[in-house]
Amino acid sequence: MSEPLLRVEHLTMRFGGLVAVDDVSFTAETGRITSIIGPNGAGKTTVFNCLTGFYKPTVGRLSLTGAHGRFLLEQLDGFRIAQRARVARTFQNIRLFAGMSVLENLIVAQHNKLMRASGYSVPALVGLGGYAAAERDAVEIARGWLERIDLVHRADDLAGSLPYGDQRRLEIARAMCTDPVLLCLDEPAAGLNARESIELNELLMWIRATHGIGILLIEHDMSVVMGISDRIIVLDYGRRIAEGTPAEIRANPDVIRAYLGEEEDEELPPEVAADLAREGRL
């Protein structure tokens, strides 16, 4: 078996006394959607923050292997994770460049390609050499995405002025414009209505089918998770409690317990239950 796109091994993240992520291991494959689910505070976003360089993990190895090489994400600086390892992410609370136009948001995401084309020199920026062609190319790619997410007519508006659902899709398109091999989506369906959620499902399945990249998805909306995930990893209190296909996860008693809590009366030892019954409290 070849090396998976992303291999997370023994990831642990401690903040003082709080263990946000505790010895979590999993893998994500190219061409697959791997979902991370779990109750609030389970450590899902912390995993993303470790993957994208916001946090340096306390323990653990995060290795990304692609056609462009092998990278240890925990050792890379913030921008190199996007630039070299080619990991892109979106946020639970949308973080677009609100004061830039919709089109510019997509072009600025192609910054590295453009800077490479300019050879980091001033003359190139003035339009000499391959820069002009690269810029046309970047605009072309951006236009393609605008068509896909149906925002062509708003290309020159400020990104901050878009309605919420459009901002979500624009953020995904921007992440895709960085030409990633791994796309990390943090609750992309949060705040979307039923129709928008279905559109999101279609968009993600389309990306999976056409772009040959791996997708990591944090999501609370079970219609999204169960509908499109290839694998699901369940976290609870920072620990991985289950992993499997959507069908397996749905039937897993540990997962049900994590989400719904223990069914207490079943767990009471028989003698305690008997005592309580005698006192008329049960």
Partner 1 sequence: MLYFTQQLINGLTLGAVYGLIAIGYSMVYGIIGMINFAHGDIFMIGAFHALIVFLILGYLGITWVPLALLIVLLVAVVLTAAYGWSVERVAYRPLRGAPRLAPLISAIGMSIFLQNFVQLTQGARGKPLHSVIPGGITLAEQGGFSVKLSWMQLIIWATTIVLVLGFTWLIRSTALGRAQRACQQDMKMASLVGIDVDRTISTTFVIGASLAAVAGLMVTLYYGVIDFYIGFVAGIKAFTAAVLGGIGSLPGAMLGGMLIGLIEAFWSGYFSIEYKDVAAFGILVLVLIFRPTGLLGRPEVEKV
**Nearer of residues 117 and 207 to partner 1, judged by Cβ:** 117
> Cβ closer to partner 1: 121 or 223?
121
Name residues whose C-beta falls within 8 Å of residue 47's C-beta, 6 or more positions apart in sequence.
8, 11, 21, 24, 36, 235
Residue with Cβ nearer partner 1 (125 or 205): 125
Of 182, 228, 178, nearest to 203 by C-alpha is 228
- Distance in Å, CB of 242 to partner 1, minimum: 30
Size of the site for partner 1 (CB under 8 A): 31
Question: What would the two tokens of residue 209 be?
Answer: 């089918």
Q: Does 98 interact with partner 1 (rule: CB under 8 A)?
A: yes
Binding segment toward partner 1, per CB under 8 A, in 36-44, 93-101, 143-151, 254-262 = 93-101
The answer to whether the CB of 200 falls within 8 A of the CB of 188 is yes
Choice from 9, 23, 104, 196 touching partner 1 (CB under 8 A): 104
Near partner 1 by CB under 8 A: residue from 44, 63, 73, 135: 135
Residue 88 near partner 1 by CB under 8 A: yes
Kindly tell me which of 99 and 261 has the beta carbon lying closer to partner 1.
99
Q: 164-203 mask for partner 1 (x: CB under 8 A)?
A: ----------xx-xx-------------------------
Regarding 109 and contact with partner 1 (CB under 8 A), the answer is yes
Out of 112, 191, 243, 246, point to the residue binding partner 1 (CB under 8 A).
112
| Helix or strand (DSSP H, E) at 163 | none
Q: Which is nearer to partner 1, 77 or 265 (CB)?
A: 77
**For residue 182, which amino acid is it?**
L
114 binds partner 1 (CB under 8 A): yes
In the sheet with 33-37, reading across from the earlier edge strand, the strands are: 87-89, 182-186, 214-218, 33-37, 231-236, 239-244
130 contacts partner 1 (rule: CB under 8 A)? no
Closest to 150 measured CA to CA, from 211, 80, 206, 226? 206
Site for partner 1 contains 125 (CB under 8 A): yes
Assess contact for 177 and 145: CB atoms under 8 A.
Answer: yes
204 alpha-carbon distance from chain centroid: 11
Single out the residue of 264, 262, 261 nearest to residue 282, CA to CA: 264
List the structure tokens of 205.
């399945």
100 binds partner 1 (CB under 8 A): yes
CA distance 54 to 255: 28
Q: With beta carbons less than 8 A apart as the criterion, state whether 66 and 73 touch.
A: no
Does the protein bind partner 1 through residue 225 (CB under 8 A)? no
Torsion angle in degrees (nearest 10) through CA of 185, 191, 192, 193: 150
Positions in the binding site for partner 1 (CB under 8 A) = 52-54, 77-79, 81-83, 88-89, 95, 97-100, 104, 107-109, 111-112, 114-115, 118, 125, 135, 174-175, 177-178
